[in-house]
């Protein structure tokens, strides 16, 4: 008999300052319960982070077969973290899928945070139904990127680490973390973002830029100061995009695995 799938998955977003989670209804892309947030412990080991994730998962009363998607701030290659910029270096080389699966004892899918956000925007948000090439940039502690063309995601693009013509990595120059740390004005920050957008536009010629991350809420203060050929619009799902994208990916991967079994 065909197994009946609930169209629900739990999304978890691991960020530099907070770890957040909520169950997501994948028909609508909406949370089915209020989001739970726990501050990210500083310089925490992978095991400590996995315990926080477990605490969030356990705070929801969900059946054991509901899959968990985890949005993680590093590239994820077949479940492994090849390098990491903004959490403990202990993550390098760790098989994240296995670590979380052992802790949670549920189907788990781990993916890059910007990819999760981009995937969510394509399915439920600002890029929904857009057949063009869309470049999503998340502005947070670092700069994340998701490149989506005709609805297909090219994972792990890592554009925040592109070295700008002035000789500095994009995320060391223009992330919202830098904006806060260096107490830049919006005008100064827009000037820096201009260099990032112009360079990425020259390299990838997207038809549309979407900016995500908490600071995308204030886009009116800096986006009008940046000039590009492609329009720049804010993410629609804002802070929820990582959770929704991770939940959707976990749901789809789990369904695929079930078909193959």
- Residue 40 or 112: the one with the smaller Cβ distance to ligand BGC is 112
Closest CB 99 distance from ligand BGC, rounded Å = 17
Signed CA dihedral, 216, 220, 221, 222: sign only: positive
Closest CB 176 distance from ligand BGC, rounded Å = 10
The neighbour count for residue 214, using CB atoms within 10 Å, is 15
Structure tokens at 94: 């760790």
Closest CB 258 distance from ligand BGC, rounded Å = 29
The neighbour count for residue 54, using CB atoms within 10 Å, is 16
Helix (H) or strand (E) holding 247: helix 241-260
- Residue 100 or 254: the one with the smaller Cβ distance to ligand BGC is 100
- Residue 66 or 241: the one with the smaller Cβ distance to ligand BGC is 241
- Residue 8 or 162: the one with the smaller Cβ distance to ligand BGC is 162
Query: Could you say which DSSP state residue 95 is in?
Result: B
- Residue 138 or 254: the one with the smaller Cβ distance to ligand BGC is 138
Closest CB 160 distance from ligand BGC, rounded Å = 5
Closest CB 22 distance from ligand BGC, rounded Å = 19
Classified as helix, coil or strand, 242 is: helix
- Residue 97 or 171: the one with the smaller Cβ distance to ligand BGC is 171
**Residues of this chain that bind ligand BGC (CB under 6 A):** 73-75, 85-86, 112-114, 138, 140, 142, 144, 158, 160, 171
Side-by-side strand order, sheet with 143-149: 152-154, 143-149, 133-139, 208-212, 232-234
Strands 68-72 and 108-112: parallel
Helix (H) or strand (E) holding 104: helix 96-104
Closest CB 15 distance from ligand BGC, rounded Å = 7
- Closest to 138 (Cα-Cα) out of 108, 111, 112: 112
């Amino acid at each position: 008999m065909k197994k009946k799938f609930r169209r629900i998955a739990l999304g978890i977003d691991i960020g530099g300052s907070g770890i957040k989670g909520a169950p997501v209804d994948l028909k609508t892309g909406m949370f089915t319960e209020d989001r739970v947030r726990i501050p990210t412990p500083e310089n925490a080991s992978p095991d400590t982070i996995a315990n926080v994730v477990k605490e969030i998962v356990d705070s929801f009363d969900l059946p054991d077969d509901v899959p968990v998607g985890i949005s993680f701030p590093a590239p994820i290659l077949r479940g492994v973290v090849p390098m990491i910029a903004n959490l403990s270096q202990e993550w390098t080389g760790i098989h994240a899928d296995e670590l979380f699966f052992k802790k949670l004892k549920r189907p788990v899918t781990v993916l890059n945070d910007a990819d999760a956000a981009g995937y969510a925007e394509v399915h439920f948000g600002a890029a929904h139904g857009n057949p063009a090439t869309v470049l999503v940039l998340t502005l947070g502690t670092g700069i994340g990127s998701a490149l989506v063309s005709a609805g297909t995601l090219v994972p792990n693009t890592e554009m925040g680490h592109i070295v700008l013509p002035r000789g500095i990595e994009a995320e060391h120059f223009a992330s919202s973390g830098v904006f806060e740390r260096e107490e830049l004005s919006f005008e100064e920050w827009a000037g820096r973002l201009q260099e990032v957008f112009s360079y990425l536009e020259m390299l990838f010629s997207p038809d549309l830029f979407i900016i995500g991350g908490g600071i995308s809420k204030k886009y009116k203060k800096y986006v009008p100061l940046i000039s590009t050929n492609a329009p720049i619009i804010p993410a629609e799902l804002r802070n929820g995009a990582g959770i929704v994208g991770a939940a959707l990916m976990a749901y789809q991967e789990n369904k695929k695995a079930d078909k193959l079994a």
